[in-house]
């Protein structure tokens, strides 16, 4: 019995550590949301004359989200997607790319007019009427800015390229894959490109891999492409002549529905680090620890010499919807959509879309190693708590159900008085849970459940615990 109490006590003390999302040494982060500044970009009633409609449009009246970021003249410049109110529903309005600059990366000064939008040019067939969406921006060592964005004509999304020297005036070059393999991939659905960069003398710039520029791209699955000029891109093919897959969704994980490329990848001494957006499914194949349909941030590590080779991958997100403005808005399931990553003043600034409605920022200081958003690490093992006496159902908890006929998903564990005392003495949990009121349901396994350490499955709870 004495050993039982010691085991239980140690287990309870370990819970905060298990909930901490410790990232591997190759990963970027954790990213910390600075207090009192988010969201950093919101909607406005700024207007401009739309060349397609030939009338004034409140071009960022509805939503602002999905931002790119880079540095120019000692300032961070954020290029963000803005939607008007010409229609209702995601993808049904017109998107344009707005411009905002900041000396500290936190307080933004916006430009009155968008910098990239559908107009009467040779690319209108791709950009109109849906617009120009979801930019990613990188810079060459000689100061040429390259934007990869989605051209959306409301029929088919296409990955397109534009270049600029000042970030305000852009030259469109059209679909990225137009010339590759005699146009074989010109008319496929394509979007979300992350070009590989590296930090040189404190500046993040585009780099080459094996003599060519390299980018990851794709929404459902992740693919790759190479280029000699940053304008015309050739998808990487497998032995069958089809698109070679880097990663794809995984059932039971936070990225079970989508693995969409995020901001520019970064070449480090560990390899190529790529941040991506993982969407959770809404059916039984989803990750039940997270909200169905939610977008969370993941990372992969690829080999620097063989960028198609994945060396490691996070099994839990390092960044997920937590703040209220990340879980309310146009996308109510919760979204932190990562698109802008920039090295500035020896720190990494991450700009992201919040519920497809606003723009947020989080910061990672490599000199101060911090955990990811509050979760267990990716090295956890899947355990059935019933196999372990110290968290066994019959020993520790009695079960309550909202119905008398079945103990299904409505069942929640209730700690016995003995276990409540151990919980209270451990100092774990909030004040109410430590009081150990006899009728309290904020109990041991419920605490694990709400911290993502326990997943409910009918009358069973499957615990994922570190180091056991």
Tens of pLDDT, residue by residue over 212-267, are: 999 999 999 999 999 999 999 999 999 999 999 999 999 999 999 999 999 999 99
Residue 10 has pLDDT above 70, yes or no: no
Which pairing describes strands 212-217 and 193-200: parallel, antiparallel, or unpaired? antiparallel
Residue bearing the bigger pLDDT, 235 or 428: 235
Q: What is the pLDDT of residues 190-216, one digit of tens each?
A: 999 999 999 999 999 999 999 999 999
- Spans of all domains in the chain: 2-19+380-465, 47-364
Highest mean pLDDT, choosing among 139-143, 366-370, 415-419, 461-465: 139-143
- Written as six digits, the tokens of 431 are 């004040």
Third-level CATH fold of 47-364: Tachylectin-2; Chain A (2.115.10)
Burial classification of residue 14, based on how many CB atoms lie within 10 Å of its CB (0-12 exposed, 13-18 middle, 19 or more buried): middle
The stretch 298-312 carries a mean pLDDT of 98
Q: What SS3 class is residue 9?
A: helix
Using 50, 70 and 90 to split pLDDT, how confident is the model at 376?
Answer: very low
Give CA separation, 244 vs 157, 217, 327, in Å: 20, 11, 34
**pLDDT reported for residue 86:** 86
Residue 381 has pLDDT above 80, yes or no: no
The stretch 144-161 carries a mean pLDDT of 97
Residue 141 has pLDDT above 80, yes or no: yes
Which pairing describes strands 454-457 and 295-302: parallel, antiparallel, or unpaired? unpaired
Q: In three state form, how does the secondary structure of 162-183 look?
A: EEECCCCCCEEEEECCCCHHHH
**pLDDT reported for residue 428:** 39
Q: Does the pTM of the predicted model rise above 0.85?
A: no
Q: What is the pLDDT of residues 310-365, one digit of tens each?
A: 999 999 999 999 999 999 888 889 999 999 999 999 999 999 999 999 999 999 99
Give the CA diameter of the chain.
81
Between CA 452 and CA 284 the distance in angstroms is: 17
Give the closest residue to 83 by CA, choosing from 101, 119, 59, 107. 59
Torsion angle of C-alpha atoms 433, 439, 445, 447, degrees rounded to 10: -30
Residue 4 has pLDDT above 90, yes or no: no
Burial classification of residue 20, based on how many CB atoms lie within 10 Å of its CB (0-12 exposed, 13-18 middle, 19 or more buried): middle
Between CA 44 and CA 58 the distance in angstroms is: 8
The stretch 296-306 carries a mean pLDDT of 98
Residue 401 has pLDDT above 90, yes or no: no
* Eight-state DSSP code of residue 220: S
Residue bearing the bigger pLDDT, 231 or 431: 231
């Amino acid at each position: 019995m004495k050993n039982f109490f010691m085991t239980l006590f140690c287990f309870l003390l370990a819970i905060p550590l298990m909930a901490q999302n410790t990232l591997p040494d190759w990963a970027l982060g954790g990213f910390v949301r600075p207090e009192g500044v988010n969201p950093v970009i919101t909607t406005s009633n700024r207007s401009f004359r739309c060349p397609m409609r030939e009338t004034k449009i409140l071009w960022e009246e509805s939503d602002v989200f999905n931002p790119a970021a880079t540095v120019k003249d000692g300032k961070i410049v954020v290029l963000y997607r803005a939607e008007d109110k010409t229609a209702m529903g995601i993808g049904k309005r017109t998107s344009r790319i707005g411009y905002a600059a900041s000396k500290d990366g936190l307080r933004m000064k916006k430009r009155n007019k968008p910098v990239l939008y559908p107009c009467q040019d040779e690319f209108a067939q791709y950009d109109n009427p849906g617009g120009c969406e979801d930019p990613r921006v990188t810079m060459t060592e000689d100061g040429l800015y390259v934007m990869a964005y989605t051209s959306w004509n409301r029929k088919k999304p296409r990955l397109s390229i534009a270049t600029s020297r000042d970030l305000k005036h852009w030259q469109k070059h059209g679909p990225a894959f137009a010339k590759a393999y005699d146009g074989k991939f010109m008319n496929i659905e394509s979007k979300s490109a992350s070009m590989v960069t590296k930090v040189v003398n404190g500046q993040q710039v585009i780099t080459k891999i094996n003599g060519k520029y390299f980018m990851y791209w794709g929404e459902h699955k992740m693919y790759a492409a190479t280029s000699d000029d940053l304008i015309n891109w050739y998808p990487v093919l497998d032995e069958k002549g089809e698109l070679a897959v880097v990663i794809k969704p995984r059932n039971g994980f936070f990225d079970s529905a989508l693995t969409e490329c995020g901001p520019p990848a970064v070449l480090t001494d560990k390899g190529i680090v790529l941040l991506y957006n993982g969407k959770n499914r809404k059916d039984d194949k989803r990750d039940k620890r997270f909200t169905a349909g939610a977008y969370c941030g993941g990372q992969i590590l690829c080999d620097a010499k063989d960028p198609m080779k994945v060396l490691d991958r996070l099994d839990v997100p390092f960044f997920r919807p937590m703040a209220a403005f990340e879980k309310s808005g146009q996308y109510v399931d919760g979204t932190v959509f990562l698109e802008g990553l920039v090295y500035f003043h020896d720190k990494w600034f991450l700009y992201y879309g919040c519920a497809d409605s606003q723009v947020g920022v989080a910061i990672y200081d490599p000199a101060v190693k911090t955990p990811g958003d509050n979760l267990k690490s990716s090295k956890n093992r899947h355990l059935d708590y019933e196999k372990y006496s110290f968290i066994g159902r019959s020993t520790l908890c009695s079960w309550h159900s909202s119905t008398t006929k079945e103990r299904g998903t409505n069942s929640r564990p209730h700690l016995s008085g003995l276990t409540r005392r151990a919980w209270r003495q451990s100092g774990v949990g909030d004040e109410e849970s430590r009081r150990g009121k006899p009728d309290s349901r904020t109990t041991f396994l419920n605490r694990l459940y709400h911290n993502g350490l326990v997943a409910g499955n009918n009358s069973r709870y499957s615990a994922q615990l570190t180091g056991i």
